[in-house]
Structure 1
């Protein structure tokens, strides 16, 4: 996948309009980084990928056929090194999980762990998340979509790279079942406010937060606490969770 920037793209300091194209040429919400691969990570990519890995070339999925059953379906975008997703898949064997991540070390580590723990309820894409949503996941097929700690792209000139945009959350809405949830979390307050602004303007969503905490919710018990968060809490860093339900 290319991560080249396009010099002719106009910079934006606020969310794009809902009709803005999801795939502006050259603009990605991530940067591919080279990294060393451990033996376990390499094993995951070489030995486990053929069983649990998926690609865009596999086309639109029949999720019941893919997992061999009917079950709640959760997609996590940008799972990093996979610790949270592995914990969820192991704790909820009656739920099926699809992880999307572009960085090879994280994909390899998750695959290795999934295999060692005998998890059959997880599948992985090493692809651009927008392309997976558009091309591979059926409409109204997901119970939950999770976006935990995406790159905040804090500089104003990079705000156009933020994955949370009106067109993005509208695409997610079409993939969620009625009543399904979009769960986001960030440790950047400015990005949390951006997310809330996008979601409050997005049609077809209802905020699940109480009036006392709106637009945010306390961290739900089902979202694992990451090591990154534990370190942040010790330093006094905040974390903001947003949980919206598809209502139309």
Structure 2
């Protein structure tokens, strides 16, 4: 990490970072280690969770723009989390918390069932080489975990600049029994709550089309 990121981690972790009970791995979450959102944020408010928040550009802007909502950034890379804390502090985003943990374990163990109003997955690693596609995040099991964390009627929002991954996501979620499309046509309209980042601009300059998907969590029986 840079000197500024090291300082941010040292000085701001107590304010922004959620302490996690670990299992075997450094970024794991111990089963049964759920947090209570009202206790973490000190209030009852709609909760938005971003999976793979990177350096936090999207979620910091969203948190600063919507103080009436709570936000959780999930990321495994310490440098990205440090940058997120630094920017959140500058933006005054006191409604943002971060967790250094594997996303599926956060959805399965850390968040109580039906606690999230929205889950965001923006530009996950495409693992575009054929031999690596099995490492992709959005799978049948991920869909089940996202459905567990979302309240009835909650939204799952995704975006990618890799067409074959977009099609895979769409197939997975169209087949997921707990979700229904919240858009018409082949692709959803661009989610206006997602800020235009340098990463997205880079993909567009490379000629890759950005594709959005939006799914609604069906009501539980």
Task: Provide the TM-score with structure 2 as the length reference.
Answer: 0.90
Q: Paired residue for 1:94, among 61, 68, 71?
A: 68
1:172 is aligned, of 146, 163, 167, to: 146
Contact map agreement 1:165 1:198 (CA 8 A) in 2: yes
Q: Determine whether 1:226 maps to 2:197.
A: yes
Measured in 2, the distance between the counterparts of 1:75 and 1:44 equals 22
Listed as ranges, the matches of 1:94-243 within 5 Å are: 94-210=68-184, 213-214=185-186, 216-243=187-214
**1:56 corresponds to 2:20:** yes
Residue 204 (structure 1) shift:
1.6
Match of 1:20 in 2: none
Bigger Rg over Cα: 1
Unaligned runs of 5+ in 2: 23-32
Give the distance between the partners of 1:80 and 1:106, measured in 2 at CA.
5
Distance 2:206 2:87 in 1: 30
Root-mean-square deviation (Å): 1.3
Per-residue deviation, 1:235: 4.0
* C-alpha contact (below 8 Å) 1:73/1:96 kept by paired residues: yes
1:76 aligns with 2:40: no
Count of equivalent residues? 209
4+ aligned runs moved over 3 Å, structure 1: none
Q: Distance in 1 between matches of 2:41 and 2:90?
A: 19
SS in 2 for 1:69: coil
Unaligned residue ranges in structure 1 (runs of 5+): 1-36
Deviations 1:105-162 (A, max 9, x none): 1111111111222221011011111111121100001000000000111122212211
Shift of 1:232: 3.0
Structure 1 length-normalised TM: 0.81
Contact 2:107-2:148 at 8 Å conserved across structures:
no
Residue in 1 aligned with 2:9? 45
- The answer to which structure, 1 or 2, has the higher relative contact order (CA under 8 A, 6+ apart) is 1
Structure 2 partner of 1:32: none
